[in-house]
Amino acid sequence: MPTSQDMTTELDPGLLDALQHQVAVFARRAEQTRLGGTGQLRNSMDRAAYLLLNRLDQEGPMGVKALAAGMGIDSSTVTRQVAPLVDTGLVKRTSHPEDGRAVVLQLSPRGLARLEEVRSSRRQLMVEVTDGWTQDERESFCNLLTRFNTALSARQSGHGPAGAAGAARAAAETTAETTGATPAE
């Protein structure tokens, strides 16, 4: 079985250079615009808040540990990122329905309304950015970007390109984050 080093030398270095350059440019431009949408809502919600609210909307109330695990980040990071969302009334802390001692995070009605405003604005941005693309081109780009994010997620979680189980889990998580679908357990 070839190693990663062997596979790198078999591929076109010029293409790999162009790919890594385009990824770097994409990351810079995405950060500059935060893919924040259009109109008054442009840049109105940071990436961390958007991903947290989206996860709570798609999967329902959950504890900090479950939220952190589902997003592939540390519990302390979730705690820090969710605090301003609670302070502004976008997320509520409630008692766990089965264990009243435990606390779960839940999207508030205000949070849901705000999330939908931002989603709508971001959908409009995607319309504008992909103006002139066919539906097939949009779907292909979305599929390839999902696949790319899945590979990055699998690599970050230590499963690397050969870890089929990790890649499958990462694919489910990435699909849930990008499409709003709930990953299968």
- pTM over 0.85, yes/no: no
**What is the average pLDDT across 77-82?**
94
The predicted pLDDT at position 38 comes to: 67
- Per-residue pLDDT tens over the stretch 15-66: 999 999 999 999 888 877 765 666 665 657 888 999 999 999 999 999 999 9
The predicted pLDDT at position 66 comes to: 93
Instruction: Convert 81-146 into a string of H (helix), E (strand) and C (coil).
Output: HHHHHHHCCCEEEEECCCCCCCEEEEECHHHHHHHHHHHHHHHHHHHHHCCCCCHHHHHHHHHHHH
**What is the average pLDDT across 108-137?**
93
Which residue in the block uniquely carries the two structure tokens 């997320």?
Answer: 91
